[in-house]
Amino acid sequence: MSDQSAVVKAAPKGIYVAGEWRDASGGGSFAVEDPGTGKPLCEVADGQADDARSALDAAVDAQADWAATPPRERAEILRRAWQLMTDRADDLALLMTLEMGKSRAESKSEVTYAAEFFRWFSEEAVRIEGRYAQNPAGGSRLLTMKQPVGPCLLITPWNFPLAMGTRKIGPAIAAGCTMIVKPAQLTPLSMLQLTDVLAEAGLPPGVLNVVPSSSAAKTVGPLMSDPRLRKVSFTGSTPVGKSLMEQASKNLLRVSMELGGNAPFLVFGDADIDAAVEGAVVAKMRNNGESCVAANRFHVAGEVAVEFTARLAERLGAMKVGHGAEEGTQVGPLIDADQRDKVGELVDDAVGKGARVVTGGSAVEGDGYFFTPTVLSNVPREARILTEEVFGPVAPVTAFGSEEEALALANNTEFGLVAYVFTQDLRRALRVAEGLQTGMVGLNTGLVSNAAAPFGGVKASGFGREGGTEGIEEYLSTKYVAVSLS
Ligand code: NAP
């Protein structure tokens, strides 16, 4: 318990502007809760529109010097931040578990994953290149250079409180952009702690400004209409993403959108069933199922559906549910009562329409917002859980007959973030991967997230890519210079 109080006490609770911690302009604060107990952990400064404006002032003031800072210096700040995060992974993980719920082991994996974006982009910062070409018609030259887009607004969700931040902050720092971060109201502490890490790593004042708030729209709204802001990068739900797109049109901001998902998980008759079950546990249960890349619709070939369902149910049914900070916990609480109730509603809807509960199926009574890991079989096509993002530990299974049917089922969604495919037939694997309407495919694996890979979606899952060599491009604009040699 003392460890827990100590990490919460040590975390900053203010607004970070121009390299200094301050109270909210109205002096207010909001409570951060532990979803494993339903009890408050602490109060955090409640940023207002005035605080967001001060943060933008600071970002604008710092932009020119930061863009002129040698790439190697920017890279070394990121590399030091990676090292500091790695050294402090246990404390960062515990803090994350307390505010978000996931088990300490899962939080530790997120800290590692989040830190990797700093290491990766420290390596990308020194490889920003242009080109020099001969005009095809002769006589002149074409010169291109990459420049930072300018001050950015980065808005992050609660489900991965560090990683969704570092995969924006890392490339923004590498590219030479300044920024204002608006962390999720439910999980601001990890981001505030990360801010201290970046300051300690040597990030100059004004480059990163952080404004926690309990009123997102009112706080960031004025920034969206301020012509000094040049980009918004958002990770969160599709409806909020659409609203930000509309606002971004006013000043024609550069936009990156990492939105919702509803990933299909396809198991063909020729799949290695051991690997498919293992992959399903990872793709479904990572982050308690509260992940945009969570497998949410299991479409399994008729001949292996019964075996796959039984084995998946056995694995999920054996998982230990508990407070994330308790030793041995594998599945923590959901983020809040609304989320727990929504998961219950989708399960009830499916069961009411004919699905069978193979394991789990209900919320856990008592403190905190727990839901038992659940497998549903014979889920009818009209069940809402096949079209709505469940964001919880529920695996609905349906059977298919042919490859064409499997592909049609997988693509029958407005979302297009990721799909998982298990087959041992190489030709089928490539055919299906090409036919899937998604930004990413996990082929015989339940884990696609990797700092070195381009993460992102199509359709209602948004656009833009985070990570990989593509990730830094979101923060750069290309300038072309026509060079006359005559
Ligand atoms: P959300 O409600 O859209 O919130 C995301 C962020 O936007 C939070 O910081 C939130 O602030 C802020 N926000 C809410 N309304 C806003 C508005 N009108 N203007 C400006 N900012 C606003 O999403 P969430 O429930 O936190 O996250 C879950 C969603 O994120 C899921 O759909 C999931 O699939 C998606 N997600 C996508 C990815 C990806 O990479 N594609 C990754 C992770 C999560 P408050 O916290 O104050 O509401």
d(CA 169, CA 190): 14
Site to substitute for ligand 1 among 240, 255, 418, 449, most atoms within 8 A of C-beta: 240
d(CA 56, CA 446): 40
Give me 432's structure tokens: 């299906």
Burial string for 413-427 (b: 16+ CB within 10 Å, else e) reads: bebbbbbbbbbeeee
Query: Which is catalytic among the residues 290, 292, 403, 473?
Result: 292
Residue 232 half-sphere exposure toward CB, CA atoms < 13 A: 29
251, 225 contact by CB (below 8 A): yes
Question: Ligand 1 centroid vs 216 CA: distance in angstroms?
Answer: 10
Question: Ligand 1 centroid vs 257 CA: distance in angstroms?
Answer: 11
Site to substitute for ligand 1 among 46, 159, 336, most atoms within 8 A of C-beta: 159
Q: Please state at what angle helix 426-435 crosses helix 403-411, rounded to 10 degrees.
A: 30
Position in ligand 1 atom list of the atom nearest CA 417: 41
* Closest CA to ligand 1's atom 18: 217
d(CA 115, CA 121): 10
* Closest CA to ligand 1's atom 26: 157
Question: Ligand 1 centroid vs 240 CA: distance in angstroms?
Answer: 7
Position in ligand 1 atom list of the atom nearest CA 155: 9
Amino acid at 291: S
Residue 152 catalytic? no
Position in ligand 1 atom list of the atom nearest CA 462: 41
Question: Ligand 1 centroid vs 127 CA: distance in angstroms?
Answer: 31
Domain ranges across the chain = 3-259+461-481, 263-451
Position in ligand 1 atom list of the atom nearest CA 335: 25
Question: Helix/strand/coil (H, E, C) string of the chain?
Answer: CHHHHHHHHHCCCCEEECCEEECCCCCCEEEEEECCCCEEEEEEECCCHHHHHHHHHHHHHHHHHHHHCCHHHHHHHHHHHHHHHHHCHHHHHHHHHHHHCCCHHHHHHHHHHHHHHHHHHHHHHHHCCCEEEECCCCCEEEEEEEEECCCEEEECCCCCCCHHHHHHHHHHHHHCCCEEEECCCCCHHHHHHHHHHHHHCCCCCCCEEECCCCCHHHHHHHHHCCCCCCEEEEECCHHHHHHHHHHHHHCCCEEEEECCCCEEEEECCCCCHHHHHHHHHHHHHHHHHCCCCCEEEEEEEHHHHHHHHHHHHHHHHCCCECCCCCCCCCECCCCCHHHHHHHHHHHHHHHHCCCEEEECCCECCCCCCCECCEEEECCCCCCHHHCCCCCCCEEEEEEECCHHHHHHHHHCCCEECEEEEECCCHHHHHHHHHHCCCCEEEECCCCCCCCCCCECCEECCEECCECCCCHHHHHEEEEEEEEECC
114, 162 contact by CB (below 8 A): yes
Residue 292 catalytic? yes
* Closest CA to ligand 1's atom 40: 258
463 closest CA partner among 474, 452, 475, 448: 474
Site to substitute for ligand 1 among 32, 33, 155, 339, most atoms within 8 A of C-beta: 155
Which is it for the CA torsion 60, 64, 67, 73, positive or negative? negative
Spans of the chain below 70 pLDDT: 1-2
Give me 35's structure tokens: 């979803």
pLDDT of residue 486: 87
Place of tokens 């009562």: 337
Position in ligand 1 atom list of the atom nearest CA 158: 26
190 closest CA partner among 257, 91, 309: 91
Q: Please state at what angle helix 104-124 crosses helix 163-175, rounded to 10 degrees.
A: 10
* Closest CA to ligand 1's atom 22: 216
Burial class (CB in 10 A: 0-12, 13-18, 19+), 204: middle
d(CA 154, CA 59): 12
Question: Ligand 1 centroid vs 277 CA: distance in angstroms?
Answer: 30
Q: Cα 72–21–159 angle (5° rounding)? A: 75
Position in ligand 1 atom list of the atom nearest CA 214: 47
Question: Ligand 1 centroid vs 260 CA: distance in angstroms?
Answer: 9
Question: Ligand 1 centroid vs 378 CA: distance in angstroms?
Answer: 32
Position in ligand 1 atom list of the atom nearest CA 240: 3
d(CA 14, CA 24): 7
Distances (CA, A) of 259 to 31, 59, 235, 262, 414: 26, 26, 6, 10, 11
* Closest CA to ligand 1's atom 19: 217
pLDDT of residue 1: 44
Question: Ligand 1 centroid vs 312 CA: distance in angstroms?
Answer: 30
Q: Cα–chain-centroid distance for residue 128?
A: 25
**Which superfamily is assigned to 263-451 in CATH?**
Aldehyde Dehydrogenase; Chain A, domain 2 (3.40.309.10)
Which is it for the CA torsion 472, 475, 478, 479, positive or negative? negative
Query: Which is catalytic among the residues 99, 106, 258, 389?
Result: 258
Distances (CA, A) of 332 to 17, 108, 226, 228, 373: 34, 14, 40, 42, 10
Question: Ligand 1 centroid vs 144 CA: distance in angstroms?
Answer: 36
Which is it for the CA torsion 388, 393, 399, 400, positive or negative? positive
Task: Assign domain 3-259+461-481 to a CATH class.
Answer: alpha beta
Q: Please state at what angle helix 238-250 crosses helix 216-224, rounded to 10 degrees.
A: 30
Site to substitute for ligand 1 among 110, 166, 190, 237, most atoms within 8 A of C-beta: 237
pLDDT for 317-376, tens place per residue?
A: 999 999 999 999 999 999 999 999 999 999 999 999 999 999 999 999 999 999 999 999
Pairing, β 254-258 against β 462-463: antiparallel
Amino acid at 5: S
Q: Which residues line ligand 1 (CB under 6 A)?
A: 155-160, 164, 182, 184-186, 216-217, 220, 235-237, 240, 243-244, 258-261, 292, 389, 417, 457, 461
